[in-house]
A and B are shown apart, each in its own frame.
Chain A
Amino acid sequence: MSAKKTDLYQGTLDLLVLKTLAHGPLHGYGIAQRILVTSKEILQVQQGSLYPALHRLERQGLLKSEWKESGNGPMAKMYSLTTAGRKRFQEEMADWRRYAGAVAMVLES
């Protein structure tokens, strides 16, 4: 099951990105790869949804970006969480847990 574009994953994509960056700064490709690997190839984020989301989160002040040398090659735009981003991450995690728990309760009743 590959993730479709924008509409369905609007809220979840944000959460995934915030979680991924909680471990440390990454560029866009790195974020997509990390999500792919961590979800055991189930969640494949398309760049058509990833980059607009990254820019949106940056505009909202939850991420900040820096152009850095990437390992052995060209400059890459590295994103990292801001303080506001960290706070939002905590909130969204709590929301998600509550939501998922509620759905689970209904499904297993």
Chain B
Amino acid sequence: MTWDSWFKRRRWEQRMDAELRFHLESQIEDYMAHGLSREEAERRARIEFGALDLTKDECRDERPARWLHQIRRDFQYAGRSLLRTPAFATAAVLTLALGIGANTAVFSAVYTALLRPLPYHEPNRIYSVEVVIPERASQFPSLPVTIQAFLEWRRTATVFDGMTALRPWECNLSGDGEPERLGGARVSANFFEFLGSPVVMGRSFASNEEQPGSENVVVISNALWQRRYGGDPGVIGRKLDINGESHTVIGIASPHFLAPVQTQLHALVPFAPRLDIWKPLAPTARELQGESWDHGVLVRLRPGQETAHASEQLRSIMTAWATTKYPGMKVDLRTQLRPIREVYSGKIRLRLLLVLAASGLLLLAACANVANLFLARAASRSAEFATRIALGAGRARILSQMTAETLVVALCGGALGISIALLGARQLTTIGPHELREHSGINPAALLFALGASFLTAIVCGAIPAWKVYRQDAVSGLREGARSVLGGGIRTRQVFMGIQIGLGTMLLASSALLLRSFINVMGADRGYSVDRVMAVDLSLFGPRQDAATFYRQLVENTRSLPGVQAAGVINDLPATAGSTGASRTIFHATDTNFQDLVLKRPVAVIRSVSTGYFAASGTALRAGRHFRDQEPTLVALISESLARALWPAEPIEAVVGRTIRQGNVTGPLITVIGVAQDVRAGAVESELPPFIYRPYPQWASGPATLVLRSALDPAALSPAIRAEIRKLSSNLPIPPLRTMREIVSESVAQRRFQLLLTGLFALIALLLAAVGVFGVVSYAVACRTREIGLRVALGATREDVLGWVLKSGMRPVLLGIAAGVCGAIAGASLIRGVLYGVTPFDPYSTVAVIVLLLVCSGLACYLPARRAARLDPMTALRCE
């Protein structure tokens, strides 16, 4: 019945009309039956009937579901009255839109990075396995897995629904177009089935393709298929030239396939930033005899299985294998399981949540601002409300109208905010770190979030003003006129203003800390130059000795190019996170007992360098000499940290000339000819392991990076470099030349992202706060115009008035700043994890922020204060 009448309003109106007209007609007929003429009857009937519209109105009030009609009327009225005050409406809607838009955009990013379901089958059962060796924990908190351990586990473990292994792999694709370097992985045969993300065309690997000799089959990514082969289904079965060998394409991965990139899985298992090709793992006999901790292993637990139990079984299998391999050696191996969700979101989680918190603070500040606007609006209409209450309007009706207004403002703000968020979201993907690349604009979760935020802000902004109106005394409201009555309302507005200032302080303080951290990080001494150095990655394949010759020739040729001050080659730049390349335990020459010492001696990562590398990169030598072109004996340069780990009590200079062994106690002796400066990765917080540098002819590696020192711009130098490379190899992919600054800058992308967003929010909050202060102080001056006139008439000077207004205006500002500083201190522990080189209680930042706020609010106070000081006392006193 009630919904019925709602929808059939017009019909109801027609019937109402018909009913009353029938009454009127009947009355007229009666009069005519009594002898009156038609006109006379009509006249009398109409007079007796009374006000038609009033009757209709009262009947409308008795309609069922009248509350629905009232709500509709409230919204219509709210819309009309907002349109009548466009300044207020624009200010309120814009402010809320900024707050809601910022929140929605950030929430959308958070959802993509942290909450969105992974495209796997039952992802909460998938874990990554890591090994922990307590004796090595200081150098390596955890380690990846060896291929032998994986094979043992696969053979004997019983508690899993499947497991798979993966290892980084990069290769050159040539023969059918421009040679291209592809990032990818070597994986066990069941990789795609394990994840539950099967190939969309062709087939996946078969288990017999895990043998050396049968492994030349590859699955390519959907992106590569579209990009290089135009989406041609005929690519299945085609033979590709990969690293000089022929491989058959057997399948194409799903377009939404997700696999760990870069160091997401583990710092020692670094993948390329983009994965385009997968090939089966096929361990050779030599690999199975060696020991290389460089595989990632994913396991799927059975439903209801405990991680501790699974971890224990893995541990016991691995320990059993280790004891057979190293009989008599006491070995303590542990395993830990990490949920796959953490692999993808672990590192960025803290930063994203902090950015979300910052956007939340901004929204609160916006709400405080808008609440003040609503208070001002209610104040200016208090005469109207008082009249209506005096005439019998229920306070509840007025309340419902005010709520309708706040809802309209909030919903409009929300809608505009969503458009802002859509724009912002696109920017987020470009400036953000690679974890956000998957981000595809606003998703439904974010829309719901925006809607919820709008309703919440409506409640927050509307509650206090509505409560004030509810408690308003109708009589006094009519008697004295609006402003002086709500002179008491100034306090609430000052409280809101103080809240805004406090929130702005917290945002500015955290931005200042982030800014200082960023500056520290960018200016930190990494052990190599960031300016005037450029690099290009070359992925040579083929026999290792050919690589040595190739690079030596290349370095010689590029060194003689005009504009190049120094040139060299290293197999992996320290600037990029993660470290590929072999790592070995380093022993003293005098060590004989492998079992006893293998866990006591340091592990170092081996870097192949050519002559000229240290000059090009700017890494200094602490002692000793550089490599020469000819080194008749086995030599090495070691990093400072390795020197200190091997000979803790000795000065660096004494280390030069000592001999070491690499990997075991029976190999050849290697002479230490120098000690190099320690280096840090681009992101600076991560410590790099100790390095042992070997000259290329003695330890060669196919993939390497050419490093050049030159004052020229990379664009100017690039053609010459490409020409030199092409001269030596016709089908080597040549990626663009990059400056070291660019490379380092990429590695701090997360940090920069957080800084930019938090800084933006802080500036918006500062602007809102300044506007808020201006508004509140202007209002206070307007309220107290008569009082000011009185003071001036009684002898106060202009400066007195100025001082008085400033003092009363700045008091809540100071309180707000104090509250904000306390809030920032309270949140210090949260932000500590992302800072570098500053403590959360850094005095310089705090002082700078306080000064900035005082200056801005002081200026915002000063303008109306100056106006107040210039008031003519006569006009002021006459003003009401």
Contacts and interface: CB of A to CB of B under 8 A. Distances in A.
A pairs with B: yes
Interface residues of B, number: 22
Contacts of B30: 33
A47 interface: yes
A98 interface: no
B26 interface: yes
A52 B59 CA distance: 4
Contacts of B20: 47, 51
Given A47-B20, A51-B20, A52-B61, A29 B26 contact: yes
Contacts of A56: 62
A55 interface: yes
Contacts of A47: 20, 23, 49-50, 55
Interface in B51-72: 51, 54-55, 58-59, 61-64
A46 B62 contact: no
A72 B48 CA distance: 24
A77 interface: yes
Interface string B23-60: 10111001000000000000000001111001100110
Nearest to A53: B62
A73 to B, nearest CB: 8
A28 B50 contact: no
A32 B45 CA distance: 14
A106 B205 CA distance: 105
Contacts, number: 58
A27 interface: yes
B525 interface: no
Given A59-B64, A74-B25, A48 B54 contact: yes
Contacts of B22: 27-29, 70, 74-77
Interface string A29-73: 100110000000000001110011001101100000001001001
Given A29-B27, A47-B23, A75-B18, A52 B49 contact: no
Interface residues of A, number: 22
B15 interface: yes
B13 to A, nearest CB: 13
Contact of B19 (A46, A51, A59, A73): A51
A67 to B, nearest CB: 8
A46 B24 CA distance: 12
Contacts of B63: 55, 59
A52 B62 contact: yes
Nearest to B27: A29
A45 to B, nearest CB: 11
Contacts of B15: 67, 77
A75 to B, nearest CB: 7
Q: Which one of B20, B26, B64 has the highest number of Cβ atoms from chain A below 10 Å of its Cβ?
A: B26
A55 B23 CA distance: 15
Nearest to A77: B19
A76 to B, nearest CB: 5
Contacts of A32: 23
A55 B59 CA distance: 6
A51 B20 CA distance: 8
Contacts of A74: 18, 22, 25
Contact of B50 (A33, A48, A67): A48
A23 to B, nearest CB: 19
Contacts of B58: 6, 48, 51-52
A6 to B, nearest CB: 8
Nearest to B58: A52
Contacts of B54: 48
Residue with the greatest number of chain A CB neighbours at <10 A, chosen from B18, B22, B50:
B22
A13 to B, nearest CB: 13
Given A48-B55, A55-B62, A29 B50 contact: no
A14 to B, nearest CB: 12
Contacts of B62: 52, 55-56, 58-59
Nearest to A6: B58
Interface string A85-108: 000000000000000000000000
Interface string B856-869: 00000000000000
17 contacts: A6-B58, A27-B19, A28-B23, A29-B22, A32-B23, A33-B30, A47-B23, A48-B50, A51-B58, A52-B62, A59-B64, A67-B15, A73-B25, A74-B22, A76-B19, A77-B18, A77-B22
Interface of B: 15, 18-20, 22-23, 25-27, 30, 48-51, 54-55, 58-59, 61-64
Closest 6 pairs between A and B when the two form their complex, measured CB to CB: A55-B62, A52-B58, A29-B26, A56-B62, A29-B23, A55-B59
Interface of A: 6, 27-29, 32-33, 46-48, 51-52, 55-56, 58-59, 67, 70, 73-77
